[in-house]
Amino acid sequence: MSEHTVTITDNKTGKQLELPVRQSTQGPCAVDIGRFYREMGFFTYDPGFLSTASCQSALTYLDGEQGMLMYRGYPIEQLAERSNFLEVAYMMLNSELPDRQQLDEFTDIITCHSMLNETLNRLFNGFHHDAHPMAIMVGVVGSLSAFYHDSTDINNLDHREIAAHRLIAKMPTIAAASYKHSIGEPQVYPDNSLSYTGNLLHMMFSVPCENYEVDPIAEKALDLIFILHMDHEQNASTSTVRLAGSSHANPFACIASGIAALWGPAHGGANEAVLNMLNEIGDVSNVPRFIARAKDKSDSFRLMGFGHRVYKNYDPRARIIREMCHEVLAKLGDGNDPLFELALRLEEIALNDEYFIARKLYPNVDFYSGLIYRALGIPANMFTVMFAIARTVGWVAQWQEMIGEDNQRIGRPRQLYVGPIRRDYVEISQR
């Protein structure tokens, strides 16, 4: 059978170019346009990457029309129900699920890397007391490269692996320290007898003068949310990590750039924005007014937690997390959280509204995650930080995958220039 190709014709000159189609294992194939500019003299134009695959990857597959998400071929529903965060993390980094010994070793490694260099611990005090924890995260994670010189050589496999482990291990410690700084409480050191999420809760909520018991429901809920948030193929923050990494910047700097990209309300910042929005709506009786605002093109208001660039069907993560949300609120809340009631009403109205139906705007994962975090006592400005902890695994795995490629090249998009054509400088006295 002949190779699959696509032929492009320039209807001005009649010139044709036959381009190879790269085969995927699942989902759309991709026309390889690498030769396009050289042969035809055009760039391709695709702002927002609506039709452009920026890389090839064996990590995550999602089908937006079907509402399907898989990590290395495993459906997210199975991982959410039967696995745990560190096991999935191992699988993302090492391609296959671990056996018992591999999982124990990996868990030990991540656990024993949880402490921060003591000088780095002091860095937090340099931030203003009301700094947003995401601002602290960007700064502190970037500064890891100033402390761990023995893991910044990206050409050294061992360095890459240690950096990956350190980032995954230290992220909860940095997140909790950012939180403690913002509320004026002393930092709490990690307790390596606890699980990954149990330790995070311990570092966030225990104080030196009292005993703290990790709530197993909270620990399980966080573990589940972290699995759901672990990776999502080439989203804005992951693409940022890959682009930064393509220049051979060190891994800590790359992950810091991912955290910065995640912060925006159109991306990871949406979970915080959802809660702010629900508070702003305030009461079920106000829902129709806000729905009307979301539909009004002259109003910049959008329903936060609704819509997705890729999912044009129910976000599978939202389906899983919605159930967890009910469970957590029933067990930890009084079961009658007015914001949850409000969220459900909003969801119901939006799902039956012609505007949202026509545009295939469904609730996304962030619509519910904020409600769970809230029930766990996690403040809104920490929501995106939680997302960053989980997504670190995906960022690191994607970064590893890219650096390990045979023909890895620096990412360097082209542009359609629409500025002034050549003109001469005019002296200021003559302008």
Which residues contact ligand CMC by CB under 6 A?
Answer: 235, 266-268, 270, 294, 302-309, 359, 361, 364-366
Instruction: Tell me whether residue 302 or residue 331 sits nearer to ligand CMC (CB atom).
Output: 302
Among all chains, which residue has been given the structure tokens 């007015």?
A: 338
267 catalytic? Reply is: no
Counting every residue written for the chain, the total comes to 431
Instruction: Tell me whether residue 144 or residue 339 sits nearer to ligand CMC (CB atom).
Output: 339
Minimum gap (Å) between residue 149 Cβ and ligand CMC: 32
- Number of Cβ atoms within 10 Å of the Cβ of 117: 14
- Number of Cβ atoms within 10 Å of the Cβ of 44: 14
Among 100, 75, 68, residue whose Cα is nearest residue 86: 100
Instruction: Tell me whether residue 28 or residue 404 sits nearer to ligand CMC (CB atom).
Output: 28
Among 391, 333, 383, residue whose Cα is nearest residue 178: 383
Minimum gap (Å) between residue 223 Cβ and ligand CMC: 19
Instruction: Tell me whether residue 203 or residue 343 sits nearer to ligand CMC (CB atom).
Output: 343
Among all chains, which residue has been given the structure tokens 């995927």?
A: 24
Minimum gap (Å) between residue 14 Cβ and ligand CMC: 35
**d(C-alpha 152, C-alpha 145), whole Å:** 7
Point out the residue whose Cβ comes nearest to ligand CMC: 307
119-127 contacts at long range (C-beta below 8 A, 24 or more positions apart): 119/147, 120/144, 120/147, 121/177, 121/187, 124/177, 124/178, 124/180, 124/181, 124/187, 125/181, 127/181
366 catalytic? Reply is: yes
**d(C-alpha 99, C-alpha 242), whole Å:** 30
Minimum gap (Å) between residue 212 Cβ and ligand CMC: 31
**d(C-alpha 412, C-alpha 14), whole Å:** 29
Instruction: Tell me whether residue 106 or residue 373 sits nearer to ligand CMC (CB atom).
Output: 373
Structure tokens at 76: 């997210």
Minimum gap (Å) between residue 388 Cβ and ligand CMC: 11
Minimum gap (Å) between residue 294 Cβ and ligand CMC: 4
Structure tokens at 307: 């819509």
Instruction: Tell me whether residue 64 or residue 333 sits nearer to ligand CMC (CB atom).
Output: 64
State the alpha helices, DSSP H only, in 234-298.
236-246, 251-262, 270-281, 287-295
User: Which of 165, 181, 232, 308 is an active site residue?
Assistant: 308
Would you please indicate which residues are annotated as catalytic (active-site) residues?
308, 366
